[in-house]
Amino acid sequence: NAGVTQTPKFRILKIGQSMTLQCTQDMNHNYMYWYRQDPGMGLKLIYYSVGAGITDKGEVPNGYNVSRSTTEDFPLRLELAAPSQTSVYFCASSYSFSLGDNEKLFFGSGTQLSVL
């Protein structure tokens, strides 16, 4: 199994450009997440999805959009990129349906994004 796969690994954007970060998982997980991590900081939740067709905002959703048309894919869209969106983005997935067990996340390798 490949696990959680993110593309691209690196990207440089100009201010105002748009792009989509791709995330796919082959573990048949229902729960998927997007986090961003700024230098020396923890991970902040951007959006999450509990199943195909269902998404919800996390702590820092502004400037981002997501969709979940299939169980496997959870792309993150950046519209009108800004320098404040320079960060490392991690996609993650989880199997459990139970909140109490929803603690083990499998992470992708990350996308390092710079907006200049």
Contact residues for other proteins (CB under 8 A)? 31, 33, 35, 40-45, 48, 50, 56, 58-59, 90, 99-100, 102-110
CB within 8 A of 107, min separation 6: which ones?
A: 4, 90, 91, 92
Q: How far is the CB of 75 from other proteins (least distance, A)?
A: 18
Residue with smaller CB distance to other proteins, 85 or 94? 94
Q: What is the smallest separation between the CB atom of 85 and other proteins, expressed in angstroms?
A: 19
Nearest approach, Cβ of 16 to other proteins (angstroms)? 29
